[in-house]
Structure formats: C-alpha cells, structure tokens
Structure 1
Amino acid sequence: MTVLVAVVTYNSERLIADLVEGLQAGLDGLDWHFTVADNDSRDGSVAAVRRLAPAATVVEMGRNAGYAAGINAAVAASPAHDAILVLNPDVRLGPGCIARLLEALKEPGTGVAVPNIVDGDGRLIYTQRREPSVLRTLGDAVLGARRAGRFPLLGEVVADERLYAAERFTDWAEGSTMLISAECWQRCGPWDESYFLYSEETDFSLRARDAGLGTRYVPDARAVHLEGDSRVSPGLWALLTLNKVRLFRRRHGRVRAGAFWAALLLRESSRAALGKRPSRAATRDLLSPARLRETPGPASVVRS
C-alpha cells in the first residue's frame, strides 16, 4: 500500500528537519510519498523541504489559504495512493506508527485511524473527542474540560485515561495525525475549506462516521506532538470557538445552535471574568453578529 503524507506548512522552517527524519522511522517498510502545501510562508520552509526531501512534491499556495485548503491541494497534487496521512509539521512519528495504523484501517467500519499521542515531555494528550453537544459544553463550562470529560454525557474531550489503553472507536480526534483510507476520502472528502482553521477535522470525521466509516483510536501506534498555540493565542482561540458554533449550526440548525452558542458564551465569559485573554477575545467575537456570519480567513487568525 502507498501512503500519501500530506503536510501543510506556514513559517515552519524550524520544524522541517526533525519532521523529515521522523517520517523515516514512522513509515519504515512502507511505500510513501511526501507532499507539502505551503501557505505562503515568509521564512525558508519551502527551501528546507526541497533541500531535505528532494523527492517531495511541493505545492506553493501563493496565499495563506487555510489548513483544509492546504490538505486538499496536497491530495490533489499527489500520485496515486491507498491512504492519506494528514500530519502537522510539529508531529514526530514513533517507529512503525503508520504500519500499525494501516492495519487498523482494515478493520470493518473504519475510515480514519489515529495514534496514541504524547507531548514533548511524554505526557498523554487527550486526543479523543465526543460529538459536540449543548450539555457537554455546559459540563465543560461548569466543571472544566478534564473533569467533565470523565463522563460521556458531560464532556467533549475524552479525559478517562482507561479509554486510551485499548483500541476503540471515537466520534472524532484532534487532527494533528490522521490516517484516512482512500475509500473514506473518496466518499467524504475533500475537507471543508470554509473553516479555514479548526473544526475541519471534526466536520470530516463526523461526516465519515455518518457514512459508516468511523475514527479508530490505536494505542500501540505512537507519536509525539509538540503542540500549537491555540490555547494561548487570543486570535486562534476565538477562531476555534466561532468555528464550533458554525459546525454545530450546519449539523443541527439554527434553533439548537442558539442553545449551543449560549453554552459557549457562558463558558468563555466566565473564564474571561477570571482574566483569561483568549476567552475575552472569544467572548467578544461570540457577541458579534458580523463575526459569527463571516467566513474565517487569515485576519481571523492574527487578531488579538
């Protein structure tokens, strides 16, 4: 089987060398092709890829088109493949990771396979997610994500470590490392570019699940995620929050989305009152009809 490794870069030069080195270990013994879609980086990301991975396909987007658009462009520009590995540039694959995920894709009803992921200090990252709901958002607001996540009805984040010990289906998983079967991509792809950044992996996984192709968590496939800055950047956190509302509205309609918006507003405003800048930005944008209506773009990401 041939695996397409699809990576989106944006000022990622410092990550390229370790990324390329990690691909060798994670894909050892497999046929694979590396494609990078670059969202108009201002550093040497493109030059670094061409120097360190000369056989790679490089797609220069010419603008910051967003994460989903980059993934779609990488897939469209690549040779034939049997599976697509969507990979953040700050992920380091463990030995044999993707071979194990490929095995999991053969299990009935599986369209996406995701590994066990730890942070740079070796701590488990809670990557499994339940479908967003009003009650889960309220649980998060009142109890906090980790405490609420121990209870299936009250938390979107699966925060029970016992559920990371065995292979299982999850509604969706954070999108830094996802192996997608070619069949799943053909039936459910491409990714929805209107989200620009955040919720695109949620939307894809839930649509795949609706089509009978679930997301399978595989504990003995391992990777390290050095992690992004959505939790500390006000602009990114506000965008993440707005896209949750947009996704919920598209799946459930405006009436139920109103209740979901109110639950999110409660969560973010209560945290803003405690002085958290990302939640202040999210609260401001949740209260802006214009921000709720507009299509996300680069300006959404850089706002503070």
Structure 2
Amino acid sequence: MAVKILGLKVDVDTLRGYREGVPNLLGLLEELSVKASFFFSMGPDNSGKALVRVFRPGFLEKMRRTSAVSTYGWRTLLYGTLLPAPLIVESAPGILRDAARKGHDCGVHAWDHVKWQDRLPKLPVTTLEADFRRAFDLFSQRTGKAARACAAPGWQVTEESLRVQEELKLDYCSDTRGAFPFLPRWGNKVFRTPQIPSTLPTMDEVLGRGGLEGSRLAEHLLGLLREGLNVFTLHGEMEGMGQLGVFREFLTRARDQGVRCVPLSTVAQALDPETLPVCPVRMCPIEGRAGRVATQIIEEEPAA
C-alpha cells in the first residue's frame, strides 16, 4: 500500500508571524514530534505597502474571508507606510536560532517579502543579488550555518530570480505550485536546482469558502491528501496564530491516519536531479488567490 507523505513548509512573512506564530508552531511540532521546513523573511516588514494589491481582482474578497485585520493586526497593516518598517529576524534572532536548534529545516524566504512579491518583474538583477546576499548573510550570522534552500514570496519568480538562485547552488527551492518535484524551465533555459512545489491549496485560499471553517476545514484538507508526496504551505500569521487549532486538528489526524510528515529537506535528499522531469514554469491564476503564481506546467505525452 502506497504511503501518503506530507511535506510541511512554513512561510514567515511578517514580524507578528515571526514573533508570535513561529514559537506557537515550534511548540506544536515538538509536541507532535514532527519536523517542518521554515522559510524566513529576514529583513523589513513592509506589510503596509501590500495594500496596493487592493486593485487586484479577488484581493478584497480574500481579505474579508480570512479576516485579515484580526489575522495580521492593524500595526502589521501599517508597517512601511504610517509606521516604520521593523526588521523581522533582527528583532529577536533567538527565534530563528531556536527553529534551527530544534532540528527543523530552515531557509530563506526573502529579504523584503513585499518588495519581492509585488515588484519582482521590475527589480534590476543587481537588486535581486544584493537582497539575496543580505538575507543569506544574515541567516549565516544568526544560525552559524549557510541556508541551503529558499522559497519565493507569493510564488513569484522570473527567469532572473531563478538564475540568481541557481548561482547559490542550493539543495532545492520551493517557489512554485504544482504536482511533483521537477527541474524548472523558463523559456528555453533549464535550471538545475530542483523545485519542490506546493501541491495543496493554502488554508487562506479555502478558508470561509462554502462554510469551510474549524473542523470542516481540517476535514477538507485531509480529504485532499493523496498517495505519494503532498506539500502543504502554511503561514506563521495564520496556522501559527488564529488557525492554530485547525492546523493542530489537521496535523494530528493526518499523523494518526499514518501520513508521514516530513520537512522538504527530507524530500530533497531523495531526489536525483539527473532523473527529475523538466517542466515549464508559467505565471497562472489560482483559485482563492489574487494575481498569478509560478505554476508547474505538466505537458501531455505526445500521442502514439
């Protein structure tokens, strides 16, 4: 009988998610003897600048469904505009060190999450390189180890961002949505850093849709698990705070049903880049999320 594997990927986007959500998640994961992959936004919390997304179709509806104000708090929604943008990891470096010390797979999400998610296609490659350097240098300074993986904010990528990541010689990246690990192709360029895509919808993409809340939401997510690899992206601000109880129920029930819960580093260690399929990456819309995200395109086999 095939085993269900659940790769756990935690994106840490904001100061509040880092200082409140991450410790909550570390406590829960320790209680359940589960390891996860944590990707940290290392620099300033400019969340207030993200309100320009109000002009994107679906953004206001998502804000309403997910109770964004209570999830993130008013201060977070003003950082970088009416309030100064605080540094996330430097505000409490011990939280990052604690995650690494507890044996979790830790990597870089970004230097400035909002700048990456909202402006990536317009950023000069020199800015990308500088921001990567700042984020990876700070990670090394605070943990004593080099980061071996990264995950793009909002699943936003460009050919330039993939190239800069390639130069870092990482073990893997998790920048995309898709179905299985692969090597990404952008245009005619194939990159050799494996992508481990998020295969499941995030909680904020389904929360409140059709009455999906509480135990019904946990049940829905359980029903999406398939044989083989599943990758679930959660957030310090949601599953680590307001939806911590729902995530606890989901994870506990999954584990009790024999689902093997692992960090993405465990998945990466089993991959052979020489035999991984090559798949195009395109920016595509996704239900429940405003804008487009980097998506693995699975090309059909040619007819015999």
**Normalization by structure 1: what TM-score?**
0.29
Q: Flag the structure with more relative contact order, 1 or 2, with Cα contacts below 8 A and sequence separation at least 6.
A: 2
